[in-house]
Structure 1
Amino acid sequence: MQKLIQGIHRFQDMVFAPRQDFFRKLAEGQAPQALFITCSDSRVVPDLICQTDPGDLFVIRNAGNIIPPYVPGTSCGVAATVEYGLKVLKIPHIVVCGHTNCGAMNAVMDIEMTAELPSVRQWLGYAQASASIVRTCYQHLPPDKQRRVVVQENVLVQLEHLRTHPAVAAALASQQLTLHAWVYKMETGEVFAYDSSSGQFELLRRDREATSGWSHEPPLASPQGVRHACVDL
């Protein structure tokens, strides 16, 4: 805890004080550029990875960057945050970002890892389709590569869940929203983005910034009808 307390004082002295006008303006309201949905993993820090300022990202974090499908008459923190971000804040972009070496995805592939964690096991049930896809389409790969692929497939599965939410469906239909599927490779700091034309995750380069994403339903397969993944990601 001492490290946290010392950090607060450094923030107040070295970050907040020199930019008081900026932070005072932020206190008046927010207009985030993107809703960023990612994992709770302490090694994944959206503002650090994207080099954004306070106020730029509206963030949802949970184990496995999971988005439960919309169920009428019920609600959860994820659904409420998505709805508020789109309907009130009018956020134009949603990024679902998985990451390599994800403990949640390892547990999805090996359910015994959650034998003593009933709440975790129930939560990860929203990602079981990801494991099923990997076991069906990538059964030829060794376990270590399957664990890399499930991270990618899970991002796409969670985007499918996201589209069931009324606020998302309406924003997509009115072309007011663009969805992005990313995977952060923590070993190298690289980010891979899903390319709907190739059906594959590809390295996000500067010249792809304007085109990486889609406003409507993307194909989850290549033009040849075969699912791909960047297994060496």
Structure 2
Amino acid sequence: MNNAHNIEVLLFDVNETLLDITVLEPLFLRLFNNPQVLRHWFAELVLYSQAMTVSGLYEPFGNLAVGALKMVGNNHNVDINDEDIAEFKGLMGSLPPHPDVLPALKRLQDAGFRLATLTNSAPTSSPTLLEKAGISHFFEEQCSVEEVKRFKPHPDTYRHAAKALGVELDKICLVACHLWDTLGAQAVGCSGAFITRPNNNLLITENLPQPNFVAKDLKHFADKILGTT
């Protein structure tokens, strides 16, 4: 399924693909006595971001993230107070990169790929998330769905990134640990690279296109796209 010879740009999802959201687990352990409620919150955040887009509505991702946290709190009969929200925002604003990210990005950039990001999060003033994580210098463009006010996997999000990068969609490979993201990119003509980080797995059905690349982390993905494995 690999078609690396056509790919010029590697377009990376940010949250969970590049940056590690498991640093939120201690907060969820404190609030809910169960760190795995983090996965429940994240799933609700993704669900409602997509529901808003389908419904023609828009709310900045950060606001939606706080709203989803309060909703999950209500579901568990847990009061989420202002101090909890401040701690949550602080953690979300300083997510670290996964250990495999920096060496993989350097290797892919050295191999001649153009690197960029596409995130559901709104742009922030400096220092940005990627600057704090020490990886912003790898990316020539940091695209956000804020410009189109539709969340991924809406087709306009990927088209916006392609326009910003001045490249045709079929020259882009979307790299993400969310299958719904690679599916959306592939639907408009991009390639898709699925990173199977924990809690993210393939969905095999008859009519669901499978990713062009499947890798356990970004170092493994670099091996695959560069043909070393």
Do they superpose with TM above 0.5? no
> Higher strand proportion, which one?
1
TM-score band (shorter)? under 0.3
Larger relative contact order, structure 1 or 2 (CA cutoff 8 Å, min sep 6): 2
Give the TM-score normalised by structure 2: 0.25
**Higher Cα Rg: structure 1 or 2?**
1
Give the TM-score normalised by structure 1: 0.24
